[in-house]
Structure 1
């Protein structure tokens, strides 16, 4: 389940006038509790260097939304369960806030919509968000391959995909060192009768 059924039921039960006033569905703390029940959560703040930002953009296809990343690592009995990231981006002219949870194996465990400032008819259904579960950062994680688009909510689908790719890339940059080029070994060949 990506968005809790109780939260979605509450959202959908609101009248249009009530919904226009309130578009925050979950607070950060509520979302973390949903994702990491009975876990200890450790918050880390990581300023992204220029090199890290370039790696995020190269891996995801999108620049980081901010130069400071907040990672919420959850542990259960000392074992890492997952890491949550919060991303704010613009859908059309208004913003949405998502929580993206990445498992220890660098696969998506959860995508949770926390706030949405566009009209509610642009919010995809639960099944659509479920497409992200188990996905890794590769070329197939796109609207042309693994993720189906949403009729009438194309901009939301694009913005959500962008957030998920960016947060997966950020996670990879923070948890894996950059690949190092191995120095080429130059072998000197000794000439017959000469010195090497």
Structure 2
């Protein structure tokens, strides 16, 4: 068995040197296999991302120019109904006059609108009770006791700010994320 001396004059065997080389080779092989595994998994993980047609449905642009005060329209967002309502000054005053602490799901009109534009209320058209589509966005539809929306399935009544006021629905109509792209257009999603 051959021996070497280190700087302190201690004897080192060549067997220890061989163990160090083997450890390096093992670490290098495991690292190479790990990098190879990650490279092999990337396409598998990437194929789980949404396709281009699904991403295209992820947002909806709504033209506000044709909606008169007091009028509401129905459109779709992510295959669900979307209500866009142009509130009148009277509807805004009625919504602001409500004592928020008396509501089941307390939110002010300001909480439910964006950028201080209280005249535009954009909500999902899905009742929070069992997922029915409330009435009140179409011309001549029943708007319920509070002048907002009425769910005919189980009798939930929403006010002009789409807040639950009466009936079994536990929450207000959902406000989706949206931004104004111009004075007359909004991008939902």
Same fold (TM over 0.5): no
The alignment's TM-score, normalised by the length of structure 2, stands at 0.25
| Greater RCO, CA 8 A, separation 6+ | 1
Larger Cα-atom Rg: 2
Higher helix share: 1
